């Protein structure tokens, strides 16, 4: 049965099995006003385990929806990689927003956009090949949620950042001259997977 409780159980199960470090962000006072480093949630893949910071003012339900959103980032950026730069984040953010909305709707939660809008997060809208990226995110996260007791390949930590960067660069070149953006992340993973067996 697909409902909000099932979504909650599966999301937290996936975060646990993937060993993501779920951390409450610290609040601090600035000019007598409480601030937080994170507006809603933030996925930080550079460490192993990867960290998901969340704003302590979120309700349980807001946190759940925000975690679905962060998992859509995580499925493209494995723990231990250091490739999550601001420019890439800005391009990926509308896709993650759309993908999270689709995933939530599949579990009967139809107000993702409204909840995020109340938190001050609005979607910028999709561009170009973004629909393909959304499809990849939805497929990967849905598959992982369906078997949330098994760590998905995309949550496997990167054991060599140099090789990950090289694989990403090669995938980027092939992507610009060949396959669609839908397969770019898979191509990165394939190249990186192959490169693990070689010493270069």
pLDDT digits (tens, 9 = 90+) for 38-57: 889 999 888 788 899 999 99
On whether both 148 and 187 belong to a single domain, the answer is no
Q: What is the pLDDT of residues 118-148, one digit of tens each?
A: 988 877 777 777 888 899 999 999 999 999 8
On whether both 50 and 130 belong to a single domain, the answer is yes
Range(s) of the domain holding residue 196: 160-200
Cβ atoms 171, 187 nearer than 8 A: yes
On whether both 38 and 85 belong to a single domain, the answer is yes
Distance CA 151, CA 186 (A): 17
On whether both 54 and 89 belong to a single domain, the answer is yes
Number of domains in the chain: 2
On whether both 141 and 166 belong to a single domain, the answer is no
On whether both 135 and 81 belong to a single domain, the answer is yes
Give the position of tokens 């099995």: 17
pLDDT number for residue 146: 95
Give the position of tokens 């140099």: 162
On whether both 32 and 89 belong to a single domain, the answer is yes
Omega before residue 78 within 30° of 0, cis:
no
Query: In 10 A of CB 87, how many CB atoms?
Result: 7
On whether both 58 and 118 belong to a single domain, the answer is yes
On whether both 167 and 107 belong to a single domain, the answer is no
Whole-prediction pTM: 0.79
The bridge status of strand 21-24 relative to strand 51-54 is parallel
Q: What is the pLDDT of residues 156-180, one digit of tens each?
A: 887 655 565 666 666 555 444 444 4
On whether both 164 and 147 belong to a single domain, the answer is no
Burial 143-179 (b: 16+ CB within 10 A, else e): ebbeebeebbebbebbeeeebbeebbeebeeebeeee
Cβ atoms 8, 104 nearer than 8 A: no
On whether both 179 and 143 belong to a single domain, the answer is no
For 31: left if phi > 0, alpha if psi spans -120 to 50, otherwise beta; the answer is left
Tokens of 158: 């990167």
On whether both 101 and 117 belong to a single domain, the answer is yes
Burial 42-64 (b: 16+ CB within 10 A, else e): bbbbeeebbbbbbbeebeeebbb
pLDDT number for residue 120: 86
Q: What is the pLDDT of residues 77-129, one digit of tens each?
A: 888 876 667 777 778 899 999 999 999 999 999 999 999 999 888 777 777 77
């Amino acid at each position: 049965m697909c409902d909000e409780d099932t979504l909650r159980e599966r999301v937290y199960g996936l975060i646990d099995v993937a060993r993501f470090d779920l951390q409450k962000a610290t609040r601090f006072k600035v000019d007598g006003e409480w601030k937080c480093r994170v507006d809603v949630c933030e996925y930080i893949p550079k460490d192993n385990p990867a960290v998901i910071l969340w704003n302590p003012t979120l309700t349980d339900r807001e946190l759940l929806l925000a975690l679905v959103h962060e998992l859509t980032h995580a499925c493209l950026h494995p723990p231990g990689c250091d490739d999550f730069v601001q420019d890439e984040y800005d391009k990926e953010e509308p896709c993650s927003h759309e993908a999270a909305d689709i995933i939530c709707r599949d579990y009967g939660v139809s107000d993702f956009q409204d909840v995020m809008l109340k938190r001050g997060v609005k979607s910028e809208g999709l561009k170009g090949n973004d629909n393909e990226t959304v499809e990849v995110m939805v497929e990967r996260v849905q598959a992982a949620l369906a078997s949330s007791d098994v760590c998905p390949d995309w949550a496997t930590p990167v054991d060599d950042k140099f090789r990950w960067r090289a694989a990403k660069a090669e995938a980027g070149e092939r992507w610009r001259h060949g396959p669609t953006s839908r397969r770019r992340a898979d191509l990165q993973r394939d190249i990186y997977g192959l490169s693990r067996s070689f010493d270069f």
